[in-house]
Amino acid sequence: MARDYFAGVMSGTSLDGVDAVIADFAPSGARPCRTIGAAHVGLPTMLRDELLALQLPGKNELARAGSAANMLAELYADAISRALVEAKLTADDIHAAGVHGQTLRHRPDLGITVQLNNAARVAEKAGMTVVADFRSRDVAAGGQGAPLVPAFHSALFARKDRHRVIVNIGGIANMTDLPPDGTVSGFDTGPGNALSDLWCARNRGTPFDAQGAWAATGKVVPALLELLLNDPFFKSPPPKSTHRDKFNLQWLEEKLRATRVKEEAEDVQATLVALTARTIADAIRLYSEKATEVLVCGGGAKNAALMRDLAQELKPRRILTTAHEGVAVEQVEALAFAWLAREALAGRPGNLPAVTGARGPRVLGAIYPR
């Protein structure tokens, strides 16, 4: 059987690094694809800080964004190269790489979505065709442009004998509902790791709270949690998506000021973890009431405190990670963009209008030939 190899690259809103995979879409088993090579490349602190700064208006931001895009392109190409080494393949073996880029602005209500990338530079450095800019066509068609992963979640994880929900917890969290009848729905539920990462960086000087250890030392502040939960986003119906444009330190500071109480930093952290767990659980209870199994992926799946809160909120449902299905939690989104690149080259739609709210199915992505 001819091999069907694609690369996928993802750097998410958590800004912890770049994940790249080499996916085989002609596997011998029942799954539609499998990972045969993977690599993680951390973001240099300077670049991470610059990307955070670029998410707000600033001086000389166009030139700064261009420089940051070039640095990202180098990291993307490096991650692909490393994944190829693990897969024992060369660039000539790969049909294309799906490279999402780094989201800086996402305001589909204004028709705006901006992913920082230099796909031409990635194609040049990696020596392969690159597919990028996946959200723009969906937004142009009146959609949210996100989440884009539910169609892939369905292909990989849907089962006819059970009702599953796939929860991806990156900087922003999203869910995909997979009932046994084959229908698919999904949307962003709200902040995943974004707020807790920012709060940890401000108060502890580290980019994230490893395993949720710091959050575990605090206690949830009920009044603060209720204030956070009162944001209209959580009550709005899907289709919906969000980003750091909304859930950022400014948003959190406004809520903290409104409580008029000086909270301990670790208690705020515990409350932010509870917010993520609660908003995910509320979404599942409201839109996937009959689900019996929840598979979690993304960096949040490695946060023990968050996983404990989520399991408590979703009892008696079975809570697992995608690793239980043989897919590493950090590889799911990169695999999804490999799949989206494959769909683009084949001329097949990559969006689900029922998820994004677009006027119809659209082929997603701009193609940069090798």
Q: Does residue 262 sit in the same domain as residue 140?
A: no
Is residue 152 within 8 A of residue 178, CB to CB? The reply is no
- Tell me which residue of 26, 327, 299, 348 sits closest to 156, measured CA to CA: 327
- Tell me which residue of 151, 299, 293, 150 sits closest to 211, measured CA to CA: 299
pLDDT at 263: 87
- Edge to edge, the sheet with strand 366-368 lists 34-42, 17-24, 5-10, 97-99, 130-132, 366-368
Please write the tens of the pLDDT for every residue from 283-302.
999 999 999 999 999 999 99
pLDDT at 29: 64
pLDDT at 2: 59
> Which residue range forms the structural domain that includes residue 70?
5-146+331-368
Is residue 337 within 8 A of residue 99, CB to CB? The reply is yes
Q: Does residue 225 sit in the same domain as residue 103?
A: no
pLDDT at 304: 95
What is the average pLDDT across 196-210? Answer: 94
- Tell me which residue of 137, 99, 11 sits closest to 341, measured CA to CA: 99
Q: Does residue 209 sit in the same domain as residue 258?
A: yes
CA–CA gap between residue 30 and residue 109 (Å, rounded): 40
Q: Does residue 84 sit in the same domain as residue 181?
A: no
Q: Does residue 173 sit in the same domain as residue 62?
A: no
| Higher per-residue confidence, 16 vs 234 | 234
Indicate the residue type of 250. Answer: Q
What is the average pLDDT across 342-364? Answer: 97
CA–CA gap between residue 133 and residue 145 (Å, rounded): 10
Q: At what angle do helices 45-54 and 61-87 cross, to 10 degrees?
A: 130
Confidence of residue 30 (pLDDT cuts 50, 70, 90): low
Q: Does residue 336 sit in the same domain as residue 353?
A: yes
What is the average pLDDT across 334-362? Answer: 97
The H or E element containing residue 295 is strand 293-297
Q: Does residue 124 sit in the same domain as residue 168?
A: no
Q: Does residue 241 sit in the same domain as residue 361?
A: no
Q: Does residue 176 sit in the same domain as residue 313?
A: yes
Provide the CATH number for the domain around residue 265. 3.30.420.40
Give the residue ranges of DSSP H helices in 288-327.
304-313
Please write the tens of the pLDDT for every residue from 132-170.
999 999 999 999 999 999 999 999 999 999 999 999 999
Q: With the C-alpha atoms ordered 234, 274, 178, 344, is the resulting torsion angle positive or negative?
A: positive
Q: Does residue 198 sit in the same domain as residue 50?
A: no
Burial class (CB in 10 A: 0-12, 13-18, 19+), 213: exposed
Q: Does residue 167 sit in the same domain as residue 280?
A: yes
Is residue 280 within 8 A of residue 301, CB to CB? The reply is no
pLDDT for residue 260 is more than 90: no
How many domains is the chain built from? 2
Instruction: Give me the DSSP letters along 328-365.
Output: -TTTHHHHHHHHHHHHHHHT-----HHHH--SS-----
Q: Does residue 278 sit in the same domain as residue 341?
A: no
pLDDT for residue 91 is more than 50: yes
